[in-house]
Amino acid sequence: MAKTPRFTAQGKTAEGGGDAPDPDRPGPVQEKHPVDQGMPPLKLLATGLQHVAAMYAGVVAPPLVIGAAVGLSPGELTFLTGASLFMAGIATLLQTLGIWKIGARLPFVNGVTFATVAPMLAINKSAGPQEALPVIFGATIVAAAFGFLLAPFFSKLVRFFPPVVTGSVITLIGVSLMPVAFNWAQGGNDKDPHYGGFANIGMAGLTLLIVLLLRRFTTGFLKQIAVLIGLAVGTLIAVPVGIADFTAVEEAGVVGFPAPFHFGAPQFAVAAIVSMCVVMLVSMTESTADMLALGEVVGRPSGERTIAAGLRADTLGSFVSPFFNGFLCSAFAQNIGLVAMTRIRSRFVVATGGGILVVMGLCPLAASLVASVPQPVLGGAGVVLFGSVAASGIQTLLKADLGKDNNVLIVGTALAVGLIPIAAPGFYHAFPESAKIILDSGISTGCVTAVVLNLLFNHLGRRRDDEIVTHPMEPGEGIPHPRSPA
């Protein structure tokens, strides 16, 4: 007679490995896993706020970038920021609480992903500021529907997205966004006569210094919200310097709602849709990696079922987001570090954070305060923020076996292809505008390159060799493998 699997407090079967039992499916009474345990209301609120603080700057950065690129007024920028906060909260609630087979039911924070910024800027360049947001929203809706249908199949393809691929992509995300931080540091508007002036760059440098000092000399909660404190202090210092504008705060109401399609009905452009579908694959790859990491941190390993449910939540949230003027949603890796540090594994803590984000999104006054942060101040914090993303990618690459020639070639080529739009912005100037939407996104091209090369070198007709890299130009020559005889 077959044995009935027993689930331990860690969410594994007694026979080892696998997903935790489905909470929607009846079963034997068992002790709740720490992930499913509640907490007193005050502690839920405090720890939920901590998660919001850890990811707040990351949520508002993409709408600030896109809003500035399309030339939104301070009031419209406030609206776009509030919509992103609102949808980040909805997506987080969907991911943590879950419905049916949707939601990983892990302490998983969702928000606007950095991966969409570069392709959205490319769409803006092609479509023009007046049509950019409707085209972006239309592409996001189609890409999200594509991702939702793909989720159960994608969860089975984890082996095709090893650290050598995900690490390359995450590194490119951070590096590709560095020019954005540098542009902010100079003032954000190259037509402004003060653009790149000492006051702007000095303010960015001071903000960066504040964040670094807080990270170095504080601990616990203060250390986690160093970027947020840096933004607040930098903004206060910017007032007497004369580079702060609080017009949006004066005009904002206390209560508001992100009216559907505020910027116009979605438009569906083929090239933009293709570009966003590529980004969706990048986002799903990153979310899968984050779910695997978070599963290990909380002691509930993520299997195919959990990953599929988590990806459905990501993509469903992304599908709904454009209806309320939001963008594509994905996991926030920095919150995984917060879970690991505090050892607070309850998903209801993060769900509380999601509720706080929803409330903030429904309060234009709160959103306007964020939108009023001067661009140079945001640029100083952006250096740390975007640099941390790149560093996360490098940490992931450390998990790859870079002692093999193939992996070195994959990483090197993917990074080189992905850096073309940054190192040589006019490289694709002779290509059609529709093609440039994809090609001008280093994240998209780098991801496709990494996936294709990984399949070519590590899966299709793979030779099971153990060559050691001795030099990038002459891999595997001159040094015997450690296991070979001397």
Q: Which two tokens stand for residue 49?
A: 């706020």
Distance CA 86, CA 78 (A): 12
* Of 83, 71, 86, 61, nearest in space to 173 by CA: 61
Distance CA 378, CA 363 (A): 21
Encoded amino acid at 297, one letter: V
**Over its length of 486 residues, how does the chain's per-residue pLDDT go in tens digits?**
444 344 443 344 443 344 555 544 555 555 778 778 777 887 788 778 777 766 776 788 788 888 888 888 877 887 888 888 899 999 999 999 988 889 888 888 888 877 777 778 878 777 666 788 899 999 999 999 999 999 988 888 766 778 888 788 778 877 887 888 898 899 877 778 888 889 899 999 999 999 899 888 887 767 766 777 888 899 899 888 888 777 767 776 777 777 888 888 888 888 888 888 888 887 887 788 778 777 777 777 777 888 899 999 999 999 999 999 889 888 776 677 667 766 778 889 889 989 988 988 888 777 677 667 788 988 888 888 778 778 877 887 888 888 788 889 999 999 999 999 888 888 988 887 667 767 877 877 888 898 899 988 887 765 554 444 444 444 444 334 444 443
pTM of the model: 0.65
| DSSP code of residue 422 | H
- For 265: left if phi > 0, alpha if psi spans -120 to 50, otherwise beta; the answer is beta
Distance CA 266, CA 262 (A): 10
Element (DSSP H or E) covering residue 130: helix 129-154
Q: Which two tokens stand for residue 45?
A: 């609120």
DSSP string, 427-475: TTTTS-HHHHHHHT-HHHHHHHHHHHHHHHHHTTT--------S-TTST
* Of 96, 154, 109, 151, nearest in space to 311 by CA: 151
Start-to-end C-alpha separation, the chain: 53
Query: Residue 419: its pLDDT value, please?
Result: 92
Where do the H-state alpha helices sit in 157-246? Answer: 163-186, 198-217, 220-224, 226-241
Longest dimension (CA), the chain: 81
* Of 448, 463, 442, nearest in space to 179 by CA: 442
Question: How buried is residue 299: exposed, middle or buried, by Cβ count under 10 Å (0-12/13-18/19+)?
Answer: middle
Q: How many helices (H) and strands (E) does the chain have?
A: 18, 2
Encoded amino acid at 69, one letter: A
Query: Residue 371: its pLDDT value, please?
Result: 65
CA distances from 151 to 137, 162, 448 (A): 21, 17, 18
Distance CA 78, CA 83 (A): 9
Where do the H-state alpha helices sit in 304-441? Answer: 304-320, 334-342, 347-361, 364-371, 375-398, 405-423, 433-439
Query: Residue 367: its pLDDT value, please?
Result: 67
Residues 110, 115, 119, 120: is their CA dihedral positive or negative? positive
Place of tokens 């740390």: 384
CA distances from 179 to 109, 429, 433 (A): 26, 19, 22
Q: Cβ distance 384 to 160 under 8 Å?
A: no
Q: How many residues does the chain have?
A: 486
* Of 117, 115, 114, 130, nearest in space to 72 by CA: 130
Q: Which two tokens stand for residue 330?
A: 């994905």
Q: Which two tokens stand for residue 89?
A: 């909260």
Distance CA 422, CA 188 (A): 17
- For 100: left if phi > 0, alpha if psi spans -120 to 50, otherwise beta; the answer is left
Q: Residue 426, Cβ neighbours under 10 Å: how many? A: 7
Distance CA 314, CA 285 (A): 11
